[in-house]
A and B are shown apart, each in its own frame.
Chain A
Amino acid sequence: KQEVTQIPAALSVPEGENLVLNCSFTDSAIYNLQWFRQDPGKGLTSLLLIQSSQREQTSGRLNASLDKSSGRSTLYIAASQPGDSATYLCAAHDRGSTLGRLYFGRGTQLTVWP
């Protein structure tokens, strides 16, 4: 069974810092890796999807990398802002007949203060 771990569990930084959020998974035979943002009590907003044949994706100040051989993904947030405060979740996509099933980490709770 796929297990996903996220480090750190919580992060509190001043505005403007560049951040690194880590995600590791036990089964390298994942299909895709996806990063989400979750605001308190809300649903999930998709940030970046890294497909199985890709190594990284970028969207604005966000960059995510994927190294399947080592079972790791990293989310970089450049020039953090208070509006970035949220919980960030990574999810490994299952493959084959269970395509669409996601395995989640517990998330990194990010606080960016002015």
Chain B
Amino acid sequence: SAVISQKPSRDICQRGTSLTIQCQVDSQVTMMFWYRQQPGQSLTLIATANQGSEATYESGFVIDKFPISRPNLTFSTLTVSNMSPEDSSIYLCSVLGDPAGAEAFFGQGTRLTVV
């Protein structure tokens, strides 16, 4: 299994500001995944973060809005930039728990409210 620590757990931010979310894993993993869950919706993948290369973004998500860092095999950050109320969501990071690529594990999420 994998234990993921995600910070902050929640935040209320002013529009136009930025928030950086941190994700720390207790083991080395090749890929980390960032998801967004808008109110009442399911999870949507924002991007995949590989160590040592640029993150790969899904359609509808751009690096200028959601810059991602992946400095090593246990840590990643997602920044939500120039926030608007539409960015109010739960943001979650995820990893696969073993090299065989079986079970996926999630952090406890960051509940973001933009006012």
Binding site for B on A (CB under 8 A): 31-32, 34, 36, 41-46, 49, 51, 89, 91, 93, 98-102, 104-107
Contact = CB atoms under 8 A, between A and B. Distances in A.
Contact of A91 (B6, B102, B104, B111): B104
Interface of B: 6, 10, 31, 33, 41-45, 48, 90, 92, 94-96, 101-109, 111
| 9 A-B pairs with the lowest CB-CB distances in the bound complex, closest first | A43-B108, A43-B109, A44-B106, A104-B42, A106-B42, A104-B43, A49-B103, A100-B96, A99-B101
A102 B94 contact: yes
A93 B109 CA distance: 20
Determine the main DSSP class of B at the interface with A: strand
Contacts of A49: 102-103
B37 to A, nearest CB: 9
Contacts of A107: 42
Contact of B108 (A34, A42, A99, A100): A42
A102 B6 CA distance: 19
A46 B105 contact: yes
Contacts of A46: 103-106
A100 B48 contact: yes
Contacts of A45: 106
Contacts of B41: 106
Contacts of A101: 33, 45, 48
A43 B101 contact: no
A41 B109 CA distance: 8
A34 B6 contact: no
Contacts of B31: 99-100
